[in-house]
Chain A
Amino acid sequence: MSEKTFGKGARVLILGATSGIARATALEFARRGFDLVLAGRDREELEILAADARVRCGNGVEIVEFDATNFDSHPDFWHRCGDVDGVICALGVMPPQQESERDWETCRAVIEVNYTACVSILNLVANDFEVRGSGFIAVLTSVAGERARKSNYIYGSAKSGLSAYTEGLRARLFAAGVSVTTVKPGPVDTAMTWGMEKLPLLVPPEKVASDIYRGVRRKADVVFSPAPWRLIMAIMRVVPSFIWKRLDF
């Protein structure tokens, strides 16, 4: 996709299309002229999202069912998506940390959805994009992966792993002209955070959506959303461990 034709008639695949951030992002891309391929496991909801994008933007919208944690199904899923110009991955789950500490199945889901599933499907995407020599990949990780806190380190570690994966993938695909954008939002006002107390710099999903679009458009490596998190995390990263382990958050 050349700079000039960015958007117009191009197809973007959204993994985890029912997510709050993905919903806003899909509409952002549709408004810029992209056709959508919405992937998820909740068919009824995907149909509603597809109808909405069609009525609002008049673009082509397709639905492909995607079972994120059934890794064996990924090659067939990827095949069914057909030709896509870009992929946005918004899969994620964040149950209360204590549940992951006590219950292995919950913990496993955190790891599998936030990390393993993303790696499994993005490997397939990367192999094809690399051969083709074009495309963009945007992956939602999190500021929680920048520095693990005692109250959310299991989710944080999976996101940290995913951020590391995207960094390596970016380096690998650079030569092929495929961009990989790591998106690190702070707290976003979606179902994932609803009911949590006093979240700093809480932003609406539409803000993250427009940051993702601009990031992809300018082939950014890492996007913090909203931007002040870049500085905040830079400071967090230099806090020495002997202090960090004493912080109560």
Chain B
Amino acid sequence: MSTFAQRDLAGWGRFPSQNCFATRPEKRREVPYAANDEFVSDIIARGLGRSYGDAALNLDAGVLLLEKLNRFLDFDAQTGVLHAEGGASFADILETFVPRGYFLPVTPGTKFVTLGGAIACDVHGKNHHRDGCLSEWVEEFDLLLASGETLTCSREQHPAAFWATIGGMGLTGIITTAKLRLIPIETTSIRASYTRTKDLDETLAEFGRDGDFRYSVAWIDCLASGASLGRSVLIRGNHAAPDEVSGDPLEFGAKRQKAVPVDFPDFALNSLSVKAFNALYYAAHPDREKIVPFEPFFWPLDAVSDWNRIYGARGFIQYQCVLPFETSRDGLKTLLETISASGRASFLAVLKTFGPQNLGLLDFPFSGHTLALDLPASAGIVEFARELDEIVLNHGGRVYLAKDATLSPENLRRMYPQIEEFVAVKARLDPDNRFQSSLSKRLRIGGAQ
């Protein structure tokens, strides 16, 4: 029998926060027992809780913490393929393999995520336009089903389970282990290039010139309005060559982290005026090129622990949507105007280009532009997010479930056309609907419809 502890859990946005019953196996063979323990009516996997909303929560029901199942099982230096448990964190992978000359093929804006959580959301990075989602680099994974059976899933083996599980938000089972292909690197620095644009058209036009850059993202001043609406600083880059850096080209990790200057968050978070910050940030980034270490380039916010607390106890939501190229200019304009008019200040808003969609049934990215921004969870936030959802839908877009806390079940179906196929695969893999979360219950995914 597993021990379940009552815990108030939340995602990174701290909205909502819910009472859950959490169990934390430390050994592999305990996982199937924990997953099926009758103490809880249903259960959901949780990694490091870096999804923003309710994906890794389960109100008054079970949450299975995977953080202790974080062992590395094998590494092939020839192919760069790492075989690790689902609870292994990206931070841990980086700490171990960067000094040996390997890097994550895809990394979200924080390294405090688990391999299993990253696969379940099929995360994207600043290189989606070039390298796709994480699943592009996942050779296979072991999926523990409610029956206790483990399926090894890949594009060839159990492909239906593979494409339902990547981006499947933990609803098909538990990813106990996975094989991820790391990429070779020569340095831990990026040759970064900063480009300032004066309005949305210029920003989108500049994104059209991403081709040369493996990594590309824009910080967008979501408080600028009128003629400046959509003005941005594009931050793009490629891996730096060894002759461009001084000292140990593969230096990385805890020691360096402290020494690395934080690019913007630390002063952003101390700044009381969002508007002033946004204006300053724009002013502080004239066009230029420079060699920057990985840390502030890929995970600028990781240097400030618990930065999510600046929004206070009520928390915040992160709203992330993608709009197809054909409608994105219009859609982004309407979204930005609506947000700006609402007076719901956002500290950070980012824009980037996505490459083509993959075969994941619930995968978020498709070709177009994606906008992500924080909104404090003040009164009326759910209604406001739904207002944004309508704009997104009107432009043929959708929102990212890894960030979501507010979507309605109806709109989920309008945004994710393959949802019924997903539900059918889930019903085969998990006939008793053992794997449920607050997100799946809110969005009515699986089980009684």
Contact = CB atoms under 8 A, between A and B. Distances in A.
A102 to B, nearest CB: 18
Nearest to A196: B5
Given A195-B3, A195-B5, A55 B26 contact: no
B3 A44 contact: no
A49 B71 contact: yes
B73 interface: yes
Interface string A27-65: 000000000000000101100110110011000000000
Contacts of B73: 48, 51-52, 55
B74 A51 contact: yes
A249 interface: no
B29 A55 contact: no
B370 to A, nearest CB: 35
B72 A55 contact: yes
Contacts of A195: 3-5
A195 B27 CA distance: 16
B24 A45 contact: no
B27 to A, nearest CB: 5
Most chain A CB atoms below 10 A, which of B24, B71, B96: B71
B28 interface: yes
Contact of B28 (A20, A45, A190, A194): A45
B75 interface: yes
A191 interface: yes
A215 to B, nearest CB: 23
A20 B74 contact: no
A23 B73 CA distance: 15
A225 interface: no
B5 A194 contact: yes
A191 B25 CA distance: 7
Nearest to B95: A56
A163 interface: no
Nearest to A192: B26
Nearest to B25: A191
Contacts of B5: 194-195
B72 A52 contact: yes
Nearest to B29: A44
B62 to A, nearest CB: 13
A18 interface: yes
A51 B88 CA distance: 14
A194 B24 contact: yes
B75 A55 contact: yes
Interface in A190-243: 190-191, 194-195
Tell me the interface secondary structure of chain A in the complex. helix
A147 B95 CA distance: 41
Contacts of B85: 48
A51 B72 contact: yes
Interface size class of A (residues with CB under 8 A): 10 to 19
A195 B23 CA distance: 8
Interface string B265-298: 0000000000000000000000000000000000
Contact of A55 (B23, B24, B27, B74): B74
B3 A48 contact: no
A119 B336 CA distance: 71
Nearest to B71: A52
Contacts of A23: 26
A48 B26 contact: no
A42 B26 CA distance: 13
Contacts of B68: 20
Contacts of A190: 26
Contacts of A194: 3, 5, 23-24
Nearest to B3: A195
B255 to A, nearest CB: 15
A193 B332 CA distance: 50
Contact of B71 (A20, A42, A51, A191): A51
A48 B24 CA distance: 17
A56 B72 contact: yes
B71 A48 contact: yes
Nearest to B75: A55
A51 B177 CA distance: 13
Interface string B75-109: 10000000001000000000010000000000000
A191 B26 contact: yes
B74 A45 contact: no
Given A52-B71, A55-B72, A195-B4, A18 B24 contact: no
A195 B22 CA distance: 9
A184 B5 CA distance: 26
Contacts of B27: 18, 42, 45
Contacts of B71: 48-49, 51-52
Interface string A134-161: 0000000000000000000000000000
Contacts of A49: 71
B74 A48 contact: no
A51 B74 CA distance: 7
B384 to A, nearest CB: 39
Contacts of B23: 194
A165 to B, nearest CB: 28
B177 to A, nearest CB: 10
A42 B28 CA distance: 11
B29 A45 contact: yes
Given A194-B3, A194-B5, A195-B4, A20 B75 contact: no
A207 to B, nearest CB: 16
A56 B85 CA distance: 13
A39 B28 CA distance: 17
Interface string B1-17: 00111000000000000
Interface in B14-46: 23-24, 26-29
Contacts of B96: 55-56
Interface of B: 3-5, 23-24, 26-29, 68, 71-75, 85, 96
Given A56-B72, A194-B5, 14 more contacts: A42-B27, A42-B29, A44-B29, A48-B71, A48-B73, A48-B85, A49-B71, A51-B71, A51-B73, A52-B72, A55-B74, A55-B96, A56-B96, A194-B23
Shortest beta-carbon contacts, A-B, top 4: A52-B71, A195-B5, A55-B72, A195-B3
21 contacts: A18-B27, A23-B26, A45-B28, A48-B71, A48-B73, A48-B85, A51-B71, A51-B72, A51-B73, A51-B74, A52-B72, A52-B73, A55-B72, A55-B74, A55-B75, A55-B96, A56-B96, A191-B24, A194-B24, A195-B3, A195-B4
